[in-house]
Amino acid sequence: MAGVDAAGEFETIRKLFAPLAHPDHAWGLRDDVAVMPTRPGYDLVLTKDAIVEGVHFLPDDPLDTVAQKLLRVNLSDLAAKGCEPFGYLLACHWSPRCGWPEREAFAEGLAADQKEFGIHLLGGDTVLTPGPASFSATMMGWAPKTGSVTRGGAKPGHGVYVTGTIGDGYLGLKAAQGHLKLEEERLEALAEHYRRPVPRLAYGQAVQGYATAIMDVSDGLIADLAHIADASGVAASVQLELLPKSAAAMAWFETRIDPEAALEQLATGGDDYELLFTAHPADEGNLKREADRLLLRLTRVGTVEAGRGVSATHLGKPVDIRKPGWTHD
C-alpha cells in the first residue's frame, strides 16, 4: 500500500491494516500485490463501490461505521450474485479530520466486519487529500460455476419481490441529520440502518435457484427495478401500498398527511441494500420458506409485464413517479 501520506502511511499500514490482512495471500501488506488462490468449480466475482463524505456518509459520522458501510455496500452486491465473500482491496483518502484516533476507529470497524462476514484485507492504497474524505473497496467472492443470476431474466407474469424493509435508508439519513421527529429509539434504529446496512448474503445464496433476475436496492426500489426491467426487455409495476415498512418507518408514515407521497419517498429514497428480484409465482412458496428459515421478511411488491419501463400504483390508482431514485448527475 503506497501513497503520498509519507508521514503516517507506513505506520497506518503496519499498526492498523497489517493485522487485518489475509494470513496466506496478502504477505502482511509488505508488498504491492496479493496473490489470489484458485477454487475449482467456482468463479471469482468482483465488485467495487466508493463512498464519499457528504455524499454517502455525513461529515460527523464515526469512522468505524463509515468503514462498515463501505464493506457492507460492496458485500450487498455480492449477495445479489449468491457469492461467498472472500476478501477486499481498500483505498483510503484521508482528509484533515482523519487523525490517528479516527484511523484507529476505521480499522476497528473493518476488523469487526471482517469477523462477522468472514473476509480479509488483501491490499490497497492510502493517501492524503484536502477533503472530503473518501474510501473505496474492491470486494471479491466465490460463486459456483453453474452461474449467478443476472438482471436480465425477468419475464412477463413473474412476481417482483424484496427482502426486509424499504425506506429505512432514506429515513435513516433524515434521522442522522436530525430532520425527523420520532421517539429516540426509532431514530436510533433508522440511523443505524443508514450507517450500517445488512447485506443479505445468506438469502442471496439461497435464492439463486429461484430468482430470474436480481440486484440489490441501492439507488431506490423504483430506479433499481427499472434497471432489471431494462436489462430484461420488459416492464414492471409496483403496488406502493405493499411496500414492507419497519416499525420505525411505520411510526413516521402514520404522521404523514399524504400517504401516496410518503410511499413514493420510501420507494425512491435508496440506501436500503435489500435484495430485489423477480421469480415465477410457482416458486413463491420456496422463496418464503427460505426467508422464514433465515428469519427474514420477504414481500411481493409487484409484477413483471410486457412492455418497457416501471409504473407504480397506490390503491389501484396510477402514481406519477417524478424522480425514481438517486443519481450522481
Question: Look-up: residue for cell 464515526?
Answer: 62
Q: What's the confidence (pLDDT) of residue 36? A: 74
**300 secondary structure, DSSP code:** E
Preceding omega of 132 cis (within 30 degrees of 0): yes
Binding-site residue positions: 32, 47, 49, 56, 77, 124-125, 151, 216, 218-219, 271, 326
Are residues 221 and 313 part of one domain?
A: yes
The torsion angles phi and psi of 315, rounded to 5 degrees, stand at: 55, 40
pTM for this one? 0.90
- The per-residue DSSP string of 53-73 comes to BTTTB-TTS-HHHHHHHHHHH
Task: Find the helix packing angle between 221-232 and 259-268, rounded to 10°.
Answer: 60
Are residues 174 and 290 part of one domain?
A: yes
Does any domain span residue 4?
A: no
pLDDT band at 62 (very low <50, low <70, confident <90, very high): very high
Does any domain span residue 179?
A: yes
Does any domain span residue 154?
A: no
Binding-site residue positions for substrate: 56, 271, 326
Are residues 132 and 179 part of one domain?
A: no
Q: What's the confidence (pLDDT) of residue 2? A: 38
Q: How far apart are CA 116 and CA 286, in angstroms?
A: 27
Are residues 166 and 310 part of one domain?
A: yes
Does any domain span residue 129?
A: yes
Are residues 76 and 36 part of one domain?
A: yes
Single residue among 120, 144, 168 that ends a domain in this structure? 144
Q: What's the confidence (pLDDT) of residue 248? A: 97
Question: Look-up: residue for cell 404523514?
Answer: 256
Are residues 40 and 72 part of one domain?
A: yes
Question: Look-up: residue for cell 439463486?
Answer: 208
Nearest one of 268, 264, 244, 247 to 166, comparing CA atoms: 244
Q: What's the confidence (pLDDT) of residue 4? A: 41
Are residues 240 and 312 part of one domain?
A: yes
Averaged pLDDT, 129-138: 93
Are residues 165 and 44 part of one domain?
A: no
Q: What's the confidence (pLDDT) of residue 321? A: 85
Task: State the DSSP H helix or E strand holding residue 230, giving kind and residue range, or none if neither.
Answer: helix 221-232
Are residues 178 and 313 part of one domain?
A: yes
Question: Look-up: residue for cell 497506518?
Answer: 12
Domain range for 255 is 159-319
Does any domain span residue 2?
A: no
Q: How far apart are CA 169 and CA 217, in angstroms?
A: 10
Q: Are 58 and 180 in contact (CB under 8 A)?
A: no
Number of domains into which the chain is organized: 2
Does any domain span residue 151?
A: no
Binding-site residue positions for ATP: 124-125, 151, 218
Amino acid at residue number 61: D
Are residues 250 and 176 part of one domain?
A: yes
Q: How far apart are CA 211 and CA 284, in angstroms?
A: 10
pLDDT tens profile 157-197:
999 999 999 999 999 999 999 999 999 999 999 999 999 99
Does any domain span residue 302?
A: yes
Residue 21: exposed, middle, or buried by beta-carbon count in 10 A (0-12, 13-18, 19+)? buried
pLDDT tens profile 86-109:
999 999 999 998 998 999 999 999
Q: How far apart are CA 207 and CA 218, in angstroms?
A: 19
Q: How far apart are CA 183 and CA 114, in angstroms?
A: 32
Q: How far apart are CA 273 and CA 75, in angstroms?
A: 10
pLDDT tens profile 189-223:
999 999 999 999 999 999 999 999 999 999 999 99
Quick check: helix, strand or coil at residue 51?
Answer: strand
Nearest one of 80, 74, 85, 117 to 207, comparing CA atoms: 80
Q: How far apart are CA 82 and CA 103, in angstroms?
A: 32
Residue 75, pLDDT above cutoff 80: yes
Task: Find the helix packing angle between 259-268 and 168-176, rounded to 10°.
Answer: 90
Does any domain span residue 313?
A: yes
**Comparison of pLDDT for 36 and 133, the residue scoring more:** 133
Amino acid at residue number 83: C
Q: What's the confidence (pLDDT) of residue 55? A: 83
Single residue among 117, 144, 171 that ends a domain in this structure? 144
**Comparison of pLDDT for 257 and 6, the residue scoring more:** 257
pLDDT tens profile 265-320:
999 998 999 999 999 999 999 999 999 999 999 999 999 999 999 999 999 999 98
CATH at 236:
3.90.650.10
Binding-site residue positions for Mg(2+): 32, 47, 49, 77, 125, 216, 219
Residues in the chain: 329
CATH at 129:
3.30.1330.10
Residue 31, pLDDT above cutoff 70: no
Q: Are 215 and 133 in contact (CB under 8 A)?
A: no
The torsion angles phi and psi of 60, rounded to 5 degrees, stand at: -105, 10
Task: Find the helix packing angle between 168-176 and 184-195, rounded to 10°.
Answer: 110
Single residue among 110, 144, 178 that ends a domain in this structure? 144
Are residues 307 and 271 part of one domain?
A: yes
Are residues 176 and 56 part of one domain?
A: no
pLDDT band at 146 (very low <50, low <70, confident <90, very high): confident
